[in-house]
Amino acid sequence: MSNYDITRGTRKERRLKMAETANRLRKQLESANFDPQNYVKHLSQQSDGDRDLQEHRHKIQTLADETAQNLKKNVYNNYKQFIETAKKISYLESEMYQLSHILTEQKSIMESITQALLSSDKEETAKEMLAAFPKETEEVKQRTLTTLLEKVEGCKNIMETPGRYLVYNGDLFEYDVDHMAQIQKVHAFLMNDCLLIATWLPNRRGAVKYKYNALYDLDSFAIVNVKDNPPMKDMFKILMYPDSRIFQAENSKIKKEWLEILEETKKNKVVKERHKKEEEVPNSPVRTDVSTNPFDEEEPVESEEVVDLSLEWIQELPEDLDVCIAQRDFEGAVDLLDKLNEYLKDQPVSQRVKELRGKVDERVRQLTEVLVFELSPDRSLRGGPKATRRAVSQLIRLGQSTKACELFLKNRAAAVQTAIRQLRIEGATLLYIHKLCNIFFTSLLETAKEFEMDFAGNNGCYSAFVVWSRSAMKMFVDAFSKQVFDSKESLSTAAECVKVAKEHCQQLSEIGLDLTFMLQSLLVKDIKCALQSYKEIIIEATKHRNSEEMWRRMNLMTPEALAKLKDEMRNCGMGTFEQYTGDDCWVNLSYTVVAFTKQMMAFLEEGLKLYFPELHMVLLESVREIILVAVQHVDYSLRCEQDVEKKAFILQNASFLHETVLPVVEKRFEEGVGKPAKQLQDLRKSSRPMRVNPDSTTSVV
């Protein structure tokens, strides 16, 4: 065996040993029970010195680099899968949100059905018990109420109401409505016609344990179940306009008892009052006094019983409205109001009808305030214009179309403003403008379609939408100008951005909304400044080149450069430029005139992209001033030049300006604007080179 084979085998063994060591180190670091501190401690004890630690550090670093490289490869290999997974997760999230909303609604419906069935069963049982032991039950409850109220400070007059007795009582904890922080411990006494809230006394005096806090009539509040959200659970809310209070029971069983007994007691009171009113109707005829005065005229007597308000749904209407408002069932509340208005439409207005109207009007005011809050910009702006449809439609049904229109437009203005603010400013201005136009005009289009759908029968609201469109367009132009004009972008970039905005604005015409004139009127000031600023830049550049003019032919050195210049001049519209090219790579024009031609035509093209009628004179005067600088320089050079050959060359450049450049400028301006420019024609006529006398120092131009 040769030395080469021995060395080769040794290297192979070394590589295998290093690979085995690396695998063992990887398994040790990947272990679930790996402890860094113990590992470092053990390593420092076993190492002989700094060299071993450096080698071990190198191994770990190599392993880390391999791991990072593997991660990168995995990311690159699965990049498309990551994108697809992210999209699917987004779709699943929206679907889960909709499913959760549907399940919540189904749960509330099932709970209401269950409560209705339980309350009906309990009502029948209570009637049977009252029929069996009427006096004994009431007397026992009255004695119990008297005994309990002796422990409450400041409520001696509560027992003065005849027929009042205790139904249910128990300890509760009161929580703050806004911050959900515990406030105090209370004791609630539910009576057959009211609810008493008493607070616990910290320093008890004899038998007195509680202090009077509040007394609510059963008709003045609504009970709402509060969904459990640990640790906040076993709660229910009492709504008394404009306030509300939240109480927590000891457990879910007691909470359920409170909710059921409160609902049952409220219904029993309504039934009792209805029976009482029916019994008060006189059965015997009443003798009317007949006047003997022949001049007395009989006055029509309003019959209080003409309108039948004893119907069960009318008696329970105020309470049903409270429940609908609390449960955010806006459609149900408005349906009840429409039903009542239809029932009372042709009925006489009696005192009882006025009282009912007063109670209902108070609920209408509460419902209106809730709907107004739904449309306020403080609420979530997600969901687009369709999210406001529910509240807007109910406000319109309530006869509040003007308020609905105002709030809808305020909501959409806040949504558009928020979307513009959240748009990230990119490095490329044109990319940012594309995103800005897409967001704004899409939102405007959706808002217009939703407005047309919601306010189809309210023609008076369309003027408000036009005014809102102008304010929204002003908001858009402020963001547009700040990014395009305030940042001093080039005229070509500004022209492209304005073109994009115009194209998006024209898409609104599909729904009959043309805001192009409005966009132009808001942009005219900034575009004027941009044109004048760029005009000054071109004039300064032209003057600087004129000051260094040597009146020499251009030598482009290579055929490629000459071909490129020919293409550029052809794109500028100079079809006869090739007649000014000579042998090899020479051009029989000066560098100053060629550079001026390219810059002039570029300015004209960008200016025509920005053009609209209000900018006609600004663009025309800018073009005229730029041309005048070049013409005056040629005129001055012809008069001052002494060399005959140079003077002929200058005349050739003047001929190119007059016979080629100026006609192309006039034609292109007329094509872009739609009408000829008399000022440019006059300028060309006044600058026509007529003759050059080689022996004279003057020329006629």
Cβ-based neighbour number of residue 643 at 10 Å:
11
- Give the pLDDT score at 700: 38
Burial (CB < 10 A; 0-12, 13-18, 19+), residue 621, is middle
> Tell me, what DSSP letter sits at residue 285?
P
- Could you report the average pLDDT of every consecutive run of 10 residues in the chain (701 residues)? 58 68 75 79 74 80 83 74 73 74 79 74 58 50 67 75 83 86 89 88 74 85 82 84 84 89 88 77 45 44 57 81 83 86 79 82 85 74 69 83 85 84 77 87 85 79 85 88 82 87 83 81 87 88 85 84 86 81 80 88 87 85 88 85 84 86 87 82 68 41 37
Residue 514 to residue 516: CA distance in whole angstroms = 6
Asked if residues 596 and 542 have their Cβ atoms less than 8 Å apart, the reply is: yes
- What is the β-pairing status of strands 208-217 and 152-153? parallel
Number of residues that make up the chain:
701
**Residue 121 identity (one-letter amino acid):** D
Residue 477 to residue 595: CA distance in whole angstroms = 35
3-state secondary structure of 207: coil
- Give the pLDDT score at 301: 41
- Extract the tokens encoding 450: 């939703």
- Helix crossing, 134-149 with 79-132: angle to 10°? 110
Phi and psi at 173, nearest 5°, equal: -110, 130
